[in-house]
Amino acid sequence: MASPFIEIPVGDRLVKVTNPDKVYFPEHGYTKRQLVEYYIAVGEGILRATRNRPTTLERWPAGVFEGAKMATREDYARGQAGFGAGKSDAFYQKRVPKGAPEWVQTSRIAFPSGRFADEVRPTEVAVIAWAANLGTLTFHPWPVRDGDVDHPDELRIDLDPQPGTDFSDAVRVALGPARDLLSELGMTGFVKTSGKGGVHIYVRIEPRWTFTEVRRAALAFGREVERRVPAEVTTKWWKEERGEQVFIDFNQNARDRTIASAYSVRPAPHAPVSAPVTWDELADADPRDFTIATMPERFAKIGDLHAPIDDEAFSLDGLLELADRDERDHGLGDMPYPPNYPKMPGEPKRVQPSKDTGKPS
pLDDT digits (tens, 9 = 90+) for 121-131: 999 999 999 99
Task: Report the C-alpha gap between 262 and 52 in whole angstroms.
Answer: 15
Q: What percentage of the chain has pLDDT greater than the value 90?
A: 85
Q: Is 92 in contact with 57 (CB distance < 8 Å)?
A: yes
Looking at residue 65, its pLDDT comes to 85
Element (H, E) at 228: helix 211-228
DSSP-H helix ranges across 107-199? 125-133, 167-173, 179-185
Q: What is the mean pLDDT of residues 171-187?
A: 98
DSSP state of 251: G
Residue 83 pLDDT grade (very low, low, confident, very high; cuts 50, 70, 90): low
User: Can you tell me the mean pLDDT for 127-141?
Assistant: 98
Q: Is the pLDDT of residue 66 over 90?
A: no
Amino acid at 360: P
Residue 340: what pLDDT?
84
Q: What is the mean pLDDT of the chain?
A: 94
User: Which DSSP letter does residue 86 get?
Assistant: T
Greater confidence, 351 or 133?
133
Where b means 16+ CB within 10 Å and e means fewer, 285-297 reads: bebeebbbeebbe
What gap in Å lies between CA 260 and CA 57, rounded to an integer? Answer: 10
With 80 as the cut, is the pLDDT of residue 87 above it? no
The arithmetic mean of pLDDT across residues 233-260, rounded, is 97
Residue 170, exposed/middle/buried by CB under 10 A (0-12, 13-18, 19+)? buried
Q: What is the pLDDT of residue 238?
A: 93
Look at residue 277 and tell me whether its pLDDT is greater than 80.
yes
pLDDT tens string 146-178: 999 999 999 999 999 999 999 999 999 999 999
Q: How far apart are the C-alpha atoms of 199 and 160, rounded to whole Å?
A: 7
To the nearest 10 degrees (0 to 180), the angle between helices 43-50 and 125-133 is 90
Instruction: Give residue 34's pLDDT band: very low, low, confident or very high (50, 70, 90).
Output: very high
Mean pLDDT, residues 277-286 taken together: 97
Is the confidence at residue 237, as pLDDT, over 80?
Answer: yes
